[in-house]
Amino acid sequence: MAPVTTTPAVASSPPVNVKLLLIGNASVGKSSLLLRFSDEQWIPEDEATATIGVDFKASLVHKMEVNGRRVKLSIWDTAGQERFRTITSSYYRGAQGIILVYDVANRETFDALPKWFTEIDTYVSSIVPKIIVGNKLDKEHSRQVPTSEGQAFATRKECLFLEASAKTSVGVREVFRDLVKRILETPELWAPVTPESGGGKRGDGEDGMPGTIDLNGRTAQGDNWGDACAC
Ligand code: GDP
């Protein structure tokens, strides 16, 4: 990924820390999307299960700059929990954005989205932005879910929508960028609470240690930006 040339104004403001979750049925390509986004890598299909499997690290940190703001993403992958039908409630804690993935060539994975919404609505505030992603766009020849159907569902659920392919990397960067943009447009999720606006400590550093955010009791800290990317 292209290194960022950070402008002085951007460098002086502390990074916004954002926690994203990847959710969806097993094998829709969640780990592959994460890997593609973070590393620009693709593991061939026949090697993926063995390589990624449930051992693939459950989260990673990625830095990017969006609309002139430094953002430190921690992106959480289910690491195979969904194979056992439930994801623990702690997985959802502190989430500020959700990437809900289905496979455009597998209708069952699209039909499962309402079930995932039931779970999300139980554990996550309704102001948390979500993006629905139809992955495996490269499998156009065996598509089972038309784009218009995915888009219509997302519109009904007031979510962002994109189709992507972790294999060809089409749309992958846009998924993360669009979701982060929406999060930045929702300052209640990350902005500091000032004495004037009431409330306790929260936010991206102005009210605490620089670069620190404390959401639902979880604290993370920013660090250097040498390898950040501009998305
Ligand atoms: P997860 O269980 O949702 O994390 O799915 P994985 O990332 O482990 O992927 C499941 C399988 O789908 C693997 O064989 C991947 O190689 C394959 N896969 C993932 N993304 C794509 C894609 O965009 N296109 C194609 N053709 N295969 C994909």
Q: Ligand 1 atom 16: the closest Cα is on which residue?
A: 45
Strands, sheet with 229-230, edge to edge from the N-terminal-most edge strand: 160-163, 130-135, 97-103, 16-23, 69-76, 59-66, 229-230
Name the percent of the chain lying above pLDDT 70: 65
The ligand 1 atom at the shortest distance from the C-alpha of residue 139 is 26
Selected residue with higher pLDDT from 6 and 162: 162
In Å, how far from its chain's centre is CA 134? 14
Question: What burial letters (b/e) apply to 122-132, b meaning 16+ CB within 10 Å?
Answer: ebbeeebbbbb
Residue 30 Cβ inside 6 Å of ligand 1? The answer reads yes
User: Rounded CA gap, 191 and 76, in Å?
Assistant: 21
Selected residue with higher pLDDT from 7 and 31: 31
The candidate with the shortest Cα–Cα distance to 95, out of 119, 76, 108, is 76
Residues in the chain: 231
In the 3-class helix/strand/coil scheme, how is the chain assigned residue by residue?
CCECCCCHHHHHCCCEEEEEEEECCCCCCHHHHHHHHHHCCCCCHHHHHHHCCCCCCCEEEEEEEECCEEEEEEEECCCCHHHHCCCCHHHHCCCCEEEEEEECCCHHHHHCHHHHHHHHHHHCCCCCCEEEEEECCCCHHHCCCCHHHHHHHHHHCCCEEEECCCCCCCCHHHHHHHHHHHHHCCHHHCCCCCCCCCCCCCCCCCCCCCCEEEECCEEEECCCCCCCEEC
Residue 158 alpha carbon to ligand 1 centre in Å: 26
Residue 172 Cβ inside 6 Å of ligand 1? The answer reads no
pLDDT tens digits for range 148-202: 999 999 999 999 999 999 999 999 999 999 999 999 999 999 887 766 655 444 4
Selected residue with higher pLDDT from 214 and 83: 83
10 band by pLDDT with thresholds 50, 70 and 90: low
Do the beta carbons of residue 133 and residue 100 sit within 8 Å? yes
pLDDT of residue 89: 75
One-letter amino acid at 183 equals I
41 band by pLDDT with thresholds 50, 70 and 90: low
pLDDT of residue 61: 81
Question: Where do the structural domains in the chain lie, given as residue ranges?
Answer: 13-197
211 band by pLDDT with thresholds 50, 70 and 90: very low
The arrangement of secondary structure in 13-197, i.e. its CATH architecture, is: 3-Layer(aba) Sandwich (3.40)
pLDDT of residue 209: 26
Residue 113 alpha carbon to ligand 1 centre in Å: 17
Residue 9 alpha carbon to ligand 1 centre in Å: 40
User: Rounded CA gap, 79 and 56, in Å?
Assistant: 6
User: Rounded CA gap, 14 and 44, in Å?
Assistant: 38
Residue 44 alpha carbon to ligand 1 centre in Å: 9
pLDDT of residue 92: 85
Of 41-55, 123-137, 162-176, minimum mean pLDDT range:
41-55
Q: Copy the structure tokens of residue 176.
A: 């993360």
Please provide the average confidence, as pLDDT, over all residues in the chain: 77
